[in-house]
Chains A and B, each alone.
Chain A
């Protein structure tokens, strides 16, 4: 029998005021990845609500080698949070996910399985296919999402069904390569990452995920987000 290579997975979770959710998400990750070698890297941007205290409590419980706290002084943005987390990642693969429980750790095994089966460079979660889904969006929100998706598909041919999703697994070297060429902020950053990866010819696979919108805390989608999105689309259209 061929010896199975054991891979290590670094899970980077950027946080800002996720005092309640961070403990829940760490519990769920440990629950669903029992036989997997992994580490959780919490990149907290100086949360005033005491998120880091909770992380320290989690470190006492699970070990500082499994739960890493790599904080920053203040809110510095998502892209740089990933780069910061990457510097401390010792895994062969890097998972990025949100701390607000919209991304459920129970899908982590399916990401890992898909990657092992296909040897993909990137496995991205998609909410828009059968087996996936969204809960907690009203009709307007769904309409905006669908419209935005159709527009992006028509203009960019991105090669994935869910462009703004941020639940992804990357080969570490691939993430390092793609992230170095991305300059956008916020969720446009997520779009830029996957579009640049497609342009560079990386093998990308998708797995269905379900997305339950913000259990604790407030979600944001207003006119300014829509404008940002359109500007992002034009930027990606012209520069990728």
Chain B
């Protein structure tokens, strides 16, 4: 059945390798006889290999599900680190300055433990942000509701890069747009205004960025239908918009979102 060359190789293996003989001795007695022959040995090796492959495949698929941490991203001065400290420690201590490196910690949210990762909004951390998206179970994108108009391009760019990230799109990570600084009531814009501003910016960006840049080898991810104007409701991933205030500690919507992601 098996070719002669292979039979000869297996015979040599059986006769000259003491390890093979030792392993065969550990098998139950019925299999020992089978394993003594070249065909039996081949069959045994093949079944072992197939079993190993099946195990690997199962392990691989189980890991490709969602990650384990919640990502706090957003442009500079949005209030990400303030929100991080409020969630982890319950207060912002003596105040905060611009972050120079990421903050990681565990927050207890509605009785469950969540691992938070706060990445600074400076542009030199973009590649770190991109590499952390694949491990995120949910993303909280923090926006400054007061200064939305001067910084709308920057916020929309970061949001665009996040939405077109291939691992984000593939695993449909839930995304929360948290409009921070709602405690400044007169100056903070409403969520509707922020939604419309961002949608308009992303719509314009969609046309120019797919025209001019080829980012990933997978040719990027198209945002929504190309003919209709862009809207968050039309995306496949869940995108929600809430108001919150990290300084005053009004983070109930954010906590609910985080609890829902885990």
- Chains A and B are bound partners: no
